[in-house]
Structure 1
Amino acid sequence: MMTTIKEMAASLVERYATNDPKQLCQYLNIEVLNVELPMNVKGFYSYLFGMQFIYLNCALTLEEQRVVCAHELGHALLHSRQNSLFLLKNTDFVSNRFEREADIFSGYLLLDKDTIRESRYYNWTVQQLAAYTGLSDKIVEYCCKN
């Protein structure tokens, strides 16, 4: 599955010539809404009446919105018919797998070839690359190894 996620991210970047998650959402007809959310909610994905929505907390910085949007785009593509709020509220279904897959998708999407090449040229640590991209250390390490 992880190879498929990597290939999916690479295919999107190649097809649309961008790794910007908001632009990709436009191309894919996924509505991105900046809304007021509780501080502990950075964003979420929702599938309603055949339409896909990504809600981003408007209090986030642009860089944080980029990372959260990439993560939620992962949900939209990998778990398109799942409504995370419904699952969380109404089932005992554990969504850790879905969250991990969306994290990995965001890593492969945002860690483009130029960024990785530059990080190797300057011999950046995982922490430096994570700070540069806004991704977690764990995701950067995983995506750079695989």
Structure 2
Amino acid sequence: MLNIKNEVKKIIKKYNTNNPFELCDFLGIWVYVMPLGKIEGHYTYNKRKKVFFINENLSEEQKCFCCAHELGHALLHTKSNVYFNSSKTFFVQNKLENQANEFAAELLIDDALLEYFDGYSLKKISECTGIDIKYLELKFKK
């Protein structure tokens, strides 16, 4: 069984950063920020090259989480392109998306965040920090 928390700890320790854009540089992953309409981001793997596309209309916080999410796909599901996944069952696609979201949450959200916001609901923490509640729920509802 995949232990995403341990995978994230290893990569942070190895590269001494949790910044997904810096990690992409270290790993040789190309990142393009460009207009994507309603799509937040996309990961593709072709000819042994990993490439991310991130929507330029996202906030800086959203771009960071989007990059971390795509990094999760690149490291956990290297050869699984989203277009390929859409031809498979919804369950498998949903599982991969959840794992990529969990990777992003583990990479970007400090374990001590709940202590800092002691007594706050996850909804209130989301409002205060701008972190999407789906990431907070993945990080702290275990």
What TM-score, normalized to structure 2?
0.86
Compute the TM-score of the two structures, normalised by the length of structure 1. 0.84
Corresponding residue to 2:137 among 121, 124, 141: 141
How far apart are 1:93 and its partner, in Å?
3.1
Given candidates 53, 56, 59, the residue that maps to 1:55 is 53
Question: In percent, how many aligned pairs have the same letter?
Answer: 31
Where in structure 1 do 4 or more consecutive aligned residues deviate above 4 Å?
none
Q: Does 1:20 align with 2:12?
A: no
For 2:103 and 2:35, how far apart are their aligned partners in 1? 25
Aligned length: 138
- Map of 1:93 onto structure 2: 89
Q: Deviations over 1:66-112 (max 9, x none)?
A: 01111111100110011112332xx2333011001111111111112
2:4 counterpart residue number = 5
Whichever residue aligns with residue 86 of structure 1, its letter is F
Residue 34 to residue 143, structure 1, CA distance change in 2 (3 Å): same
- Structure 2 gaps of 5+ residues are none
CA distance 1:112–1:34, change in 2 (3 Å) = same
Cα-Cα RMSD: 1.8
